[in-house]
Structure 1
């Protein structure tokens, strides 16, 4: 039996790679190998990782295909969103049907880097398909970690309003805040604002005593109210749990109201909004009560639906023959 070189045992490879290693086309048809895509194979004992699937797609696609959308953003360390289909964009009218791969076609590629399209371009692509609440979470994460900024996203969108996701990204920018430190904070904030409550400050200092301040997750300073998200580690880690007891004692001593929020409470968003509203009222809040109508429903639908159908928007100038 012909020995298999190590480089063919631990990841996807092409038929050319196999031939150069002495593995014939007939051998590839045997039990030791598994076909992934046309012309792309793996060893039967190799378990594919997320990176392997991307590598396999790259090998099957033309050299000009670039990672885009959520797949490109996940290369930054983003632990959110589906891993499949793997999203690529290619310039031209190329038609390829690869299992687990979505190939977007465009007349003109957006800006690219060594990984795929740029982060701003990938975010535009993501906004074209994402729910509003998810686009806010991902956008906050990108801004918070310095992977891009609002100016770069806005400039790219305005430079090509015909692009898929450009209008959506411009709309969602008004709802992003890079000061959010977690996905749950980014989820909590729009739950409150899309219900019609005032927009809170994010991760700002709250004075609770003489020369003593705490950083509050979401702060309504005018009504002395803080909304705090507590992840599961706040209950599981005894040191953290006791630190939280001290923290909330300081809030009380500083005459600050607070609402503690867990993932279970976020799962019942209308009840949560009502609790925050009642707490604000105790602090003198005179804004309107929350509503759960059209604006609220936008939060859980697609950004595209919030912006409106493309055919109903003002016609944009686009490169002739553009398909995206």
Structure 2
């Protein structure tokens, strides 16, 4: 039996690749190879990575198809969202179905780079179908890591509101905060604001009347109240745990109230919001209590639902309305 060339053993390849390596079409039909897409194979037994599946999709699609949406954003190191379907966009009326791949067709491609569409364009595409809370989480991450800016996203969206996700992205921008340092912080902040509580500042210094800098996750400066997310590292890392004890001692001594939030408490969001409200009341807050009505429910629905039907938006713009 002819040995399989090493260049075909490390991942997906095309029929042309196989031919150049001396593997015939008849050999490809044997048990030693697995067909992934039309014209794309890999060695039987090869464990496909996420990267391999993207490579396989690229090989099966024409060069004019570009990575978009959450798939493009994950190439930046974003560990969030589904890995499939792998999302591509193509200009024109190309009809091609590949398992595990979603191909969006558009009349005019957004800006592209050497990976796919640009980060701002990929975020527009993501906002078209994402939940509000997820679009905020991803948007915060992109801003915090300096992959794009609010100005860049807004400029692209407003330059073509007909684009898939443009209206949605513009709507989300007011809820983003690039100072957020973790996914959980980005989930926690809108839980408070969409319930009607004031918007806290993210990761700003707290005055503890000492010559030391103490940073709070979510800070209500006016009411000297802090909401802190306690990830698992706060319990597992003893140095972090000890540092936290010192921080909270400084807060108590300075009269700063705080609410500690864990993953489990985040899973009971209404109860959590209620506790933050009661803590604010004790600090002198005299605003209305939280509400868990329409705006709160929007947080867990698609951005498109929050923005409203596309046809209504088009009609409003035609009449010169916002």
Give TM-score, length-normalised by structure 2: 0.97
Aligned counterparts of 2:307 and 2:316: Cα–Cα separation in 1: 15
Deviation at 1:316, TM superposition (A): 8.7
User: Do 1:162 and 1:317's aligned partners in 2 also have CA atoms closer than 8 Å?
Assistant: no
Supply the distance in 2 between the matched residues of 1:317 and 1:132 (Cα, whole angstroms): 23
Correspondence 1:55 to 2:58:
no
Unaligned runs of 5+ in 2: none
1:310 aligns to 2:298 (yes or no): no
- SS class of match (2:245): helix
State the SS of the aligned residue for 1:247: helix
Number of aligned residue pairs: 318
For 1:1-324, what aligned pairs fall within 5 Å after superposition? 1-315=1-315
- Could you tell me whether the CA contact under 8 Å between 1:227 and 1:258 is conserved in 2? yes
C-alpha RMSD over aligned residues:
1.2
Cα distance in 1 between the residues matched to 2:212 and 2:59: 58
Contact 1:71/1:83 (<8 A) preserved: yes
Residues 214/67 of structure 1: CA separation in 2 closer, same or farther (3 Å cut): same
Write the deviation string for residues 88-137 of structure 1: whole angstroms up to 9, x where unpaired: 00010000010000000001000000000000000000000100000000
For residues 9 and 118 of structure 1, what CA distance do their matches in structure 2 show?
A: 32
**1:160, distance to aligned residue in structure 2 (A):** 0.4
Deviation per CA, 1:6-42, whole angstroms, max 9, x where unpaired? 1101100000100111101110000000000000000
SS in 2 for 1:155: helix
Q: CA deviation at 1:239?
A: 1.7
Task: Give me the whole-angstrom Cα distance separating, in 1, the residues matched to 2:15 and 2:223.
Answer: 67
CA distance in 1, matches of 2:316, 2:242: 57
Contact map agreement 1:162 1:316 (CA 8 A) in 2: no
**How far did residue 242 of structure 1 move?**
1.4
Secondary structure class of the residue paired with 1:259: strand
CA contact (8 A) 1:12 1:52 kept: yes
Counterpart CA distance in 1 for 2:239 and 2:162 is 53
Please give the secondary structure, in 2, of the residue aligned with 1:4.
Answer: coil
